[in-house]
Amino acid sequence: MSYRRIIPIYLLAMKDVARFVSYIFHPLFFPTYGTLLIVGLNPNMFGPFRDKVHFAWLIIIIALTIVFPLVWILMMRGLQMIDSLQLRTSKERIIPFVATATFYLWATWMFKPTVTMKIPPNLLIFYMMLGACFAIFEAFVINVFAKVSLHTLAAGSLTGLTLILIRYSTFDLRLMFVGVILMAGVIGTARLMLKAHTDKEVALGYVAGFTAQFISFSIAPHFF
């Protein structure tokens, strides 16, 4: 087989890998991945809480940050309010941003320690979700002037969260932090390979996501 035939096959395979990476690290999955990190890396912080409570936390996060926003976007697609589920244009992203932010704020409120609920709230998840709300707000503002990669926005948020968890976890997370950075790089590379975003849009996503978590855990506690 000649090199002329091998190269197109190789490029096609790499694009398939890039699509797979984009699917499994979809922005809507960030709160779920973040919750799994918080629960898994901080087992000594939850005292008498049982696995049922952790499962309940996960169900709440999945419902409010994946299922509800996804149903909303599918309804918009069915009503032809958007051209595609990829939300390629800035105009198409406006209403999904508002809807997603509403669900994220709902999830944030449910984990606020002062809220009296049958399911115990959690401070780390509360600040993680607050950071996710900040990230959506930043993306919404940036969206007025330019597109931003939502995939790298989530990757930047997860990187920031992992860095913050180093001071809370009983485990040594330095190696995991390096792994998350590499994962974030793979996500950005995948978006560039698919030509879904420019270098600038990918970089904006990283900065906005990381900054959002930093603000949430370092500045917001002085006001909440």
- Predicted confidence (pLDDT) per residue in 123-138, tens digit: 899 999 999 999 999 9
Query: Helix, strand or coil for residue 71?
Result: helix
pLDDT reading at 46 higher than 60: no
At 120 the pLDDT is: 74
Give domain limits for the chain: 15-218
Q: What is the pLDDT of residue 11?
A: 55
User: Which parts of the chain fold into alpha helices (H)?
Assistant: 3-24, 30-41, 51-62, 68-78, 90-110, 123-145, 150-165, 174-193, 199-218
> CB–CB of 33/26 below 8 Å?
no
Does the structure show a pLDDT above 60 at 62? yes
For residues 161 and 34, give the distance between their C-alpha atoms in angstroms, rounded to a whole number.
7
Q: Among 1-15, 71-85, 106-120, 166-180, name the one with the lowest average pLDDT.
A: 1-15
Quick one: pLDDT band at residue 63, thresholds 50, 70, 90? very high
